[in-house]
Structure 1
Amino acid sequence: MTTSPVERAADQFVSALAQWRVERGMTKKQLAARMGFDPSYVSHVEGRRHKPTEDFARRAEAVLGAGGAIWQRFQEYDELRHARTPGPHRDSPVRSQWLPPGAGLVVEREIAELAYTDGAYRCRVLRSLYNAGVEPVTRYLVKMAVDRYPNDPTGSNRHHRENPLTFEELDVHAVAGEGDAAEPMRWRVKLDRDAAKEIWLLFANERGQFPLYPGERTTIQYAYTVGEEKWGQWFQRAVRLPTRSLTVRLNLPERFEPQVWGVEVSLNAEVPVRTPLERRNEGGRAIFEWSTDQPLLNARYRLEWRFRGADAPVHDDLAPAEPVLPRASHRMRGIGIIQRGSDLLRQRARHFQLPREAPAARETVTRLLTSLAQLEDLHEFSKGVGLAAPQIGLPVAAAVVRAPDREIEPVVLLNPRVVGESAARDEQYEGCLSFFDYRGLVVRPLRIEVEHARFDGARVVTVFERALARLVGHEIDHLEGRLYVDRMKSDAKLVPVAQYQQTGRPWDY
């Protein structure tokens, strides 16, 4: 029966090993072969006949790709095992990182620095690469991501939607090689999202190609810039390739009085890095540095900071609250548009006595056109827009209609009535300024003939088709005390404007 903490930790290591082996579809012999051990060795470890070593745990982690889970269990076991044994006790250090068969690129050294200057962060990364594979390497993947408010994912996502990263501001530069042998590297976009970019650095430029062949080494360096309004106060490195040495460095203004700490992130937890950060001051800069050898594959190491200086930039933990925008109907009401529910919208408008009431008719049309101009400042009416006198509180038979093409002069309708219409009809979504929070499907004729008056009292008939026919018909309905909901099918439902998918698009004919 397992009783001691050490034995329980050993059991947990064995359980994690077996779980990941089964998940990867490997037998014990297959895993042992991939790890470079005798075929029976994994069986002995899982059977608790052999104690796991650091080398065994590292190889198992690398082959099974457990995201740090196996290594974490080994560390827990190792700490307990040696806590009860005084004196020297550690396994012999692993001198060089073991590579699974078929390994490709190896990072022999990485130095990643983030420097703050004049309101922006510049990230510079140097990687010494070794091609341990069997194929030439012609490109290298670089990932660039920001998270302005890591403690507020929703706010951070909203912030980056409104302020997306752009390749122009990133100003990416990359070279391969060092000194006189350095070659500029072209790059190609792989992923382009608001808060994340991925690019392929190409071992090529306009002068030719320079692949990294098997057994060869080179150094690549790349740099990019992100404004402080998009970069959160953290700098993370993810170990995606076998890496022998990793150094992470922060270069911050000393006057900001920065406080910096390091975190190791695994699948299960975030814990402080196991060794302290080093600090030095140079020329008014505070430089913090942390290094580790043989970091585990898929491990992530993050430096975080805060500024305590009086003149340091302020960084809130949470994004500003999203502004509560007024409902569309409230905006319409704000410029004097009568809203649904008013008796005025259900009354038949009074016809003008023309030409005697021509001055009053002209004044009404002027007011309608003025309101129309205000509306177009509030909203883009890609389908066109109309406005009837009752909608601005005037119970008279006048309306104006703006076609989708804004170069066309508005149509002025006085005392209008429909005198003919086509049999051909269509069904399209309509909105109404008097209840602008919804849209509804309305059937209307594709062509109408409208008799209407001029200011001098003369009567004319005008033919309107398609979009204009729909807009004019909608406004004549207003003058007759009808709303478009009266024309909707009995089983049709209004669609909230937030769910409406055709805003900004003209009607389809």
Structure 2
Amino acid sequence: MTTSPVERAADQFVTVLAQWRAERGMTKKQLAARMGFDPSYVSHVEGRRHKPTEDFARRAEAVLAAGGAIWQKFQEYDELRHARSATAHRDPPVPAQWMPPGTGLIVERELAELRYTEGAYRCRIKRSLYNAGNEPVTRYLMKISVDRYPHDPIGSNRHHRQHPLTWEELDIEAVAGEGEAAEPMQQRLKLDRDASKEVWLLFANEHGQFPLYPGERTTISYAYTVGEEKWGQWFQRAMRVPTRSLTVRLDFPVHFEPQVWGVETSLAAEVPVRNPLERHNEEDRAIFEWSTDQPSLNARYRLEWRFRGAGAPTYEDLAPASMNGSIHQLVVPEQRASQRMRGVGIVQRGADLLRQRCRHFQLPREEQSARDAVTSLLTALQRLEALHDFSKGVGLAAPQIGLSVAAAVVRPPERDAEPVVLLNPRVVGESGDSDEQYEGCLSFFDYRGLVVRALRIEVEHARFDGTRVITSFELAMARLVSHEIDHLEGKLYVDRMGADASLVPVSEYQQTGRPWAY
């Protein structure tokens, strides 16, 4: 049976849509939610039960950041459907650097820089904008948000009530255009809170208005200052509009001995940034730079750091202000355990990925994918063992490093023992005897909790060639292996604690450095 050109074009659109959805790791339900459609709509389009609409194609292109592929296939389908000739009405010409039309304002390039100088941080954002919509743009929303203690929201809120952001210290500057053509932008207040401000930057000033019309481009730059006593050790960029390219730059004094890492947070998980940070020194400055192309809409990219050098600001307890109002040096305690884990790329409690059942490998067809996952786990385990002494042994599951696949590695308590590799594991038997011991978790490392587990378990798991074996584990290894299999099923050890049990802060835990007793 032959198909018409229109049907073939519709099939090609669906194929490209499905390919990019898989590339971005989204389910049909997730994509529909991000696009603002009913959960079943994407399924109906991919199943050819609904024909794609222009609005659907534009939203899919913006969410999946497909570089124009989805929009191009829709246009081919739409032109055939309406039998339009080359001289018939078309959408506005596609710009040289493609951006999806009809989605409003587009950020073609963003450079976000944070520089520390003389007790304060100066943030400077430069964005290249393209109006892909149908209406002139007359304003741009600038958001400023600080969090002194990002891992202690109560303490952070209390601190900012006592030390609110002020308009005087922010010293906001904003211009549109570059060089001699740059025009100052007027500012209009939208939100004024202790730890956050929102300001409309207007495409207007005392000389008149200069709207950004459809199809036009411009560059806007704005900057503001926040004192070190109000800025926590993180710098985050949130992708609220479609963005083609993002670069984040941190600029610190070399003698602070800065250490920097990055985290990406999406609707699905919190994982280390996929591209490495680059560092170079310029005289007495240490410059860290990270870039990504086509960042996901609604994703958040956060760079975090710590300073190890003498004379650097620190980030826990604020010393009292002197009589003239200047801020004294901040006092440093040891970095929190969870922060150290986050710093080496371990996904932390609260991420959706830790609550999802992991996908099993199709072996031996996916042998290489399984080997890659195990290699990543073993590499992460080496980093962890250089950071902490795991006298009780240690395990690591794939979702803890951002992979939703059924793989885990477990290193026994014996110092020189080789890690056990578990692929597609499931507990098929356990003893009636059990005991209760304190457990910790790399994704929840600030606390310990009492958990009852069987003293012996039998686990069916796969080899890389797909053959399945059953292995018995006893005592400490039974506990470690059970803990990791729980991770692969979306469970944490706190789910197994008794109703009257309470977590023990690691600072009060008395068994650090000692193996479990049997």
TM-score range, shorter chain: 0.3 to 0.5
**Bigger CA radius of gyration:** 1
Give TM-score, length-normalised by structure 2. Answer: 0.47
Q: TM-score, normalised by structure 1?
A: 0.48
